[in-house]
Structure formats: structure tokens, C-alpha cells
Amino acid sequence: MFLIDDILLAPLKGVLFLAEKINEVIEKETSDEGTIKERLMALQLKFEMDEIDEEEYDKREDELLKLLATIREQKGKGR
């Protein structure tokens, strides 16, 4: 009986495993200062290479700086 349950639930367990891993990656991407700094540098490069205009650059930069401030604030509270 347990073998049949394991076989039938295997696809669901696989989907749950993938969802957990995706969530871990998203949390790391949005809570790591280094990643945010890399994104800021990439944004700066795009702006300097005229791939995006100043308005788009300012908008994205503000979003990333707010995210960075939030991360630093959370780390400060955690200490």
C-alpha cells in the first residue's frame, strides 16, 4: 500500500521540491546585497551603453536602491 502511495504521489512531491528550490533562489536573489549591487552595476552599464534611457535607468535604480535599503534594515534588526 505504501509503495503504491509513493508511486502515485511522486509527481506531486517533485513539484513541491521544485517550488521550494525556486522559492529559495528567489529569496536569495532578493535578500543578498551582493546580488543587488551586481544588478546596479549591470544597470549602470546598460545606461552607459545607451541600451536604456535615463528615465528607465532612474526608475530601476530607485527600485534597486529601495530593495538594498530594506535588506540592510532587516540585517540591522537581526543583529
29-63: per-residue pLDDT in tens?
777 888 889 999 999 999 999 999 999 999 999 99
Say what the alpha-carbon torsion angle 61, 63, 64, 69 is, to the nearest 10 degrees: 120
The pLDDT assigned to 61 comes to 97
- Using a pLDDT cut of 90, give the percent of the chain over it: 48
Average pLDDT value for residue range 5-28 = 86
Q: How confident is the model at residue 13 (pLDDT cuts 50, 70, 90)?
A: confident
Taking the whole predicted model, whether its pTM rises above 0.85 is answered as no
CA distance 71 to 69: 5
